[in-house]
Amino acid sequence: MARDTFKALEPLVARAISAGEAEFDGERDRVTWNKRLALSRAPDAVVAVHSAEEVAATIRFAAANGFKVSPRGGGHNYQASALRDGGILLNLGALNTVEIDRGALTARVGVGIQGHPLSEQLAAAGLAFPVGHCVDVALSGYLINGGFGWNSGEWGAACANVEAIEMVTAAGEIVLASADRHAELFWAARGAGPGFFAAATAFHLKLHPLPATAYAWRAAFAASSAPALADWLTAATAAAPAGTEVGCFLFAHWDTGEHAIVLRVSACGDSEAEARDKVAPFVSPPPVARKIGDAKGEALPFTELFKLSPMPSGKRVAADHAWSDAAVGDLLMAVHDLPAPSADSTVDIVAFGGHTPVAVPRDAALTVSGGTGVGIYGLWDDPADDEVNRAWVRRVDEALAPYRTGRYVGEADLTLEPGRRAECFTPDALARLDALRRRYDPDGLFAVWP
Ligand SMILES: Cc1cc2nc3c(=O)[nH]c(=O)nc-3n(C[C@H](O)[C@H](O)[C@H](O)COP(=O)(O)OP(=O)(O)OC[C@H]3O[C@@H](n4cnc5c(N)ncnc54)[C@H](O)[C@@H]3O)c2cc1C
């Protein structure tokens, strides 16, 4: 039945594959980063589009035929929130054009563009944007979540660097939302994450001159050295210039397999000397801390920072997130003795702006953030290990509870308690989001919240 229904949509869009067709399973799996969830849900169809007009046609078709619509940018959400049972998965990944206005320091980009190709194209014009830390994160959901990326300590959250957003509403209307026009949609699109109730198709970005260089310093220690490092780490973070990104990562060391703390401190600058100075407070850790291998400092182009943040894809995943205003050393102490059951799993304690919280827009749905974000990422291969890995994520999350001030909507596990969503917004912002959704999407066409 659904297959016949979707025949009518085929001439209007780039590609529509409905359940039961030979390519359907492959297509459904391909559009979702988390392999644990890729195989567990099935929409009625996956529809790929090449333009806002095709998005509008899909939305009108869905409304007429009683399907819900779930926009998908890059499919990286840890809970695979774009992948639902039933309805249309609207794949926006091919909307990836980049038009740069170098003089105006702006660009209009399709939502599907990924961080690395965007950075490369901007760098060729001498420009930059605070893209996400991993190479393949699409701007789409990243910016709608808020977006805490490279050099966000200097430039603010990604959503603080957007002037206007093109989107298609539940009524099938194509609009350009900004602070002056459709201001409520613009407010919601900057931070609502999986709670957004329209399909964004393009972002009008504010850009920055490309930093001359970045500098990164990295050292690994035995996790048992956390007590020797904690106060020093807190003091070094306080001493580093605002904007220096301080990352403290717990995982199985790549050479020895030992449960390790990896410190990675990075900064951008107009010269190598300037960038190197910003990480200087970290380069002399207490000698009593047991190092694994040698520390390493390197200058690298802004576009190569991605290489410092590899995350394997094709894994089964469980993740969660906490914001905290506690000192980095205290957070390290809270979680350092909880090794993961899988070698690919990590706990990432990241003070994106060092001792200064990342700037967020004054008037946007992104209303909860903090000085430091702690991402808990369980990654493994064998379905038989699902429960032990998910239990580890919960255990680390519980250890962070005394320090938690909120959660990031882009990484928190919103599939757990229903109250989780309320931890991602101020009460006023969540009430405003709900009210706007009822107004702009009264029939609940868009599938919101995982
Ligand atoms: C490897 C990896 C690295 C990451 N690094 C960072 C990081 O450095 N900083 C950070 O802030 N976050 C980071 N994240 C989290 C990231 O912000 C989210 O996973 C985000 O959802 C990715 O965007 P996406 O387009 O792939 O989302 P999708 O999975 O495609 O969608 C997520 C949700 O947003 C909605 N959505 C997506 N696009 C649109 C749209 N155009 N219009 C309307 N709704 C839409 C979907 O309906 C869905 O509910 C990372 C995630 C991964 C897996």
The tens digit of pLDDT for each residue in 286-299 reads: 999 999 999 999 99
Closest among 46, 47, 29 to 38, alpha carbons compared: 29
Say yes or no: 178 and 226 in one domain: no
Is 450 a domain residue? no
Nearest residue (by CA) to ligand 1, atom 7, is 132
Same domain, 235 and 359: yes
Q: What is the mean pLDDT of residues 144-154?
A: 97
The DSSP bridge partners found for residue 168 are 174, 199
Please tell me whether residues 288 and 181 are part of one structural domain: no
Least Cα distance to 178 among 152, 146, 197, 204 occurs for: 204
Question: Does 318 lie in the same domain as 202?
Answer: no
Listed in sequence order, the residues at least 6 apart from 419 whose beta carbon sits closer than 8 Å to its beta carbon are none
What does the pLDDT look like over 174-230, one tens digit per residue?
A: 999 999 999 999 999 999 999 999 999 999 999 999 999 999 999 999 999 999 999
334 and 227 part of one domain: yes
Number of compact structural domains in the chain: 3
Decide whether any atom of ligand 1 lies within 6 Å of the 144 Cβ. yes
Query: HEC states along 180-218?
Result: CCCHHHHHHHCCCHHHCCCEEEEEEEECEECCCEEEEEE
Which amino acid residue places its CA nearest to atom 18 of ligand 1? Answer: 77
Report the DSSP pairing between strands 245-252 and 316-324. unpaired
Q: Does 87 share its domain with 114?
A: no
Atom of ligand 1 nearest to the CA of 447: 47
Residue type, 197: F
Mean pLDDT on 76-88? 96
DSSP letters for 61-109: HHHHHT--EEEESSS--TT-TT--SSSEEEE-TT---EEEETTTTEEEE
Whether 433 and 344 map to the same domain: the answer is no
8-19 mean pLDDT: 93
| Contact present, 222 and 251 (Cβ < 8 Å) | no
Does ligand 1 have an atom closer than 6 angstroms to the CB of 137? yes
Residue keyed to tokens 């048992």: 224
Q: Whose CA is nearest to atom 33 of ligand 1?
A: 194
- pLDDT score, position 105: 98
Q: What percent of the chain has pLDDT over 70?
A: 100
Whether residues 165 and 254 share a domain: the answer is: no
| pLDDT score, position 306 | 95
Please indicate, yes or no, if residue 446 is contained in any of the structural domains.
Answer: no
- Do residues 146 and 256 both lie within one domain? no
Torsional sign, CA 375, 113, 204, 134 = positive
404-414 in b/e burial notation, b at 16+ Cβ within 10 A?
A: bebbbbbbbbb
pLDDT number for residue 4: 85
Q: Are residues 381 and 244 in the same domain?
A: yes
Domain boundary among 68, 91, 114: 91
Q: Report the percentage of the chain scoring pLDDT > 90.
A: 95
CATH number at residue 192: 3.30.465.10
Residue type, 234: T
171 in any annotated domain: yes
Question: Residue 418 — very low, low, confident or very high, per pLDDT cuts 50/70/90?
Answer: confident
140 lies in the same domain as 82? no
Q: Is residue 141 within 6 Å of ligand 1 at its C-beta?
A: yes
CB 449 within 8 A of CB 424: no
The boundaries of the domain holding residue 256 are: 213-419
Check whether 264 has a pLDDT greater than 70: yes
Residue 115 in contact with residue 149, Cβ under 8 Å?
A: yes
| pLDDT for the residue numbered 151 | 97
Give the pLDDT confidence of 225-263 residue by residue, as tens digits. Answer: 999 999 999 999 999 998 999 999 999 999 999 999 999
Of 91, 126, 149, the one marking the end of a domain is 91
Nearest CA to ligand 1 atom 29: 75
User: Ligand 1 pocket: which of 58, 77, 175, 421 to mutate (most atoms <8 Å of CB)?
Assistant: 77
Q: Model's pTM, two decimal places?
A: 0.97
371 Cβ below 6 A of ligand 1: no
Q: Tokens representing 68?
A: 């819900």
Q: Could you tell me if residue 412 is inside a domain?
A: yes
Ligand 1, atom nearest to 167 Cα:
42
**Which atom of ligand 1 is the closest one to the Cα of 150?**
8
What is the reported pLDDT for 3?
75
Using most ligand atoms within 8 A of CB, pick from 58, 91, 145 the residue to mutate for ligand 1. Answer: 145
* pLDDT computed for residue 421 by the predictor: 96
Look up the CATH number of the domain holding residue 364: 3.40.462.20
Contact (Cβ atoms closer than 8 angstroms) between residue 196 and residue 189: yes
pLDDT of residue 1: 54
Q: Is 147 in the pocket of ligand 1 (CB under 6 A)?
A: yes
- Least Cα distance to 13 among 139, 199, 147 occurs for 199
**pLDDT tens for residues 323-334?**
999 999 999 999
Whole-angstrom distance, CA of residue 325 vs CA of residue 405: 7
The answer, yes or no, to whether residue 133 has pLDDT greater than 70, is yes
The whole-number pLDDT of residue 417 equals: 85
The tens digit of pLDDT for each residue in 346-376 reads 999 999 999 999 999 999 999 999 889 999 9
DSSP state of 138: B
Q: Of 31, 61, 91, which one is at a domain's C-terminal end?
A: 91
Strand partners, 323: 373, 406
Q: How far apart are CA 384 and CA 342, in angstroms?
A: 12
Same domain, 63 and 180: no
Centre of ligand 1 to C-alpha 411, Å, is 8
pLDDT of 2 over the 80 cut: no
Length of the chain: 450
Task: Kindly give the interhelix angle for 328-335 and 386-400, rounded to the nearest 10 degrees.
Answer: 140
Specify the ligand 1 atom closest to the Cα of 112: 25
Query: What is the dihedral sign for C-alpha 179, 181, 183, 187?
Result: negative
Is residue 447 in a domain?
no
In a domain, 114, yes or no: yes
Q: Are 305 and 245 in contact (CB under 8 A)?
A: no
Residue 279 lies in a domain: yes
* Angle in degrees, CA 233, 238, 241, rounded to 5: 115
pLDDT score of 15 more than 60? yes
Alpha-carbon distance of 84 to 41, in angstroms, equals 6
CB of 420 closer than 8 Å to CB of 165: no
CATH (domain of 46) = 3.30.43.10
Q: Is 22's pLDDT higher than 70?
A: yes
What pLDDT shows up at residue 437?
Answer: 98
Q: Residue 47 in contact with residue 40, Cβ under 8 Å?
A: no
